[in-house]
Amino acid sequence: MRKRYTTADLSVLTPDEARRFVSEGDGDPQADIALAWELLYRLDPQLYDRLVRAERLHPAVLRSLPDDVERIVEVGAGTGRLTLELIHRAGEVVAVEPAAPMRQLLKRKLSRVDRQHHVRVTPGFFDHVPVADDFADLVVACSALTPARGHGGDPGLAEMERVCRPGGRVVIVWPNNVDWLTAHGYRYASFPGEMFVEFASSEEAAELTEIFYPSAVAEVRRLGQRRVPYELLGINPPRDIAFKVMAE
């Protein structure tokens, strides 16, 4: 990932995207891994989607989410890792995703499964969610929100809370900085059990590990298996949430 893109690729970003994602670093995706991921979303969304399909959320994470509400807003929907699990949990789901190629891929997926048109896919950012105050019963982000301002930060967290109705719930799935969230009044829960990244084949496991987790690729190749423990890749499994119930 650190060698995949160069400053020449920054032209793919819109002015709004560049203002958020480039201004926090030195503008070099080979030195700024967060910026490299943003370029991946726009230049190689299918590659990203292959990784996401292998990173299955813990079943208890999904069970912890409300399943019969009026409205859900998902921020940073990506290619639908969580969105596809939300379709039948609400009368209306708004999936907010800044990267146009990711939105297009998500829309294609939804066209096959969302026959009742429960989901509306729309551009937006963590600090600009295009829905009204108190709009949703559940506002959720999965593996997208970080303390960095360009990827949410305090303004993004406040914006998620703005669009959540009193008594509703804001949920961060697979949070990357629990201390930051608990300092903002969020409760934390983690669910037990062994978890694996479920690649389609051992060949795909080696290919994607070489791109995204190169320090583990030799061992993944040695094992020759399609199921790879998260611990081997050096990342936490998607088994946890941070959540806040908004005051009524």
* pLDDT higher than threshold 80 for residue 25: no
Show the tokens assigned to 193: 């059990």
Model confidence band, residue 124 (pLDDT cutoffs 50, 70, 90): very high
Helix (H) or strand (E) segment spanning residue 73: strand 69-75
Contact 105, 78 (CB under 8 A): no
Give phi and psi for 189, each to the nearest 5: -140, 140
Show the tokens assigned to 169: 């719930």
Contacts of 191 by beta carbon, 8 Å cutoff, 6+ apart:
58, 60, 61, 64, 239, 240
Contact 66, 42 (CB under 8 A): no
Percent above pLDDT 70 for the chain? 98
What value does the mean pLDDT take over residues 37-48?
Answer: 98
What value does the mean pLDDT take over residues 33-47?
Answer: 96
pTM of the full structure:
0.95
What value does the mean pLDDT take over residues 139-156?
Answer: 95
For 163-201, where are the alpha helices, taking DSSP H only? 178-183
Model confidence band, residue 24 (pLDDT cutoffs 50, 70, 90): low
pLDDT at residue 1, rounded to an integer? 87
Q: Which residue has the tokens 């146009």?
A: 100
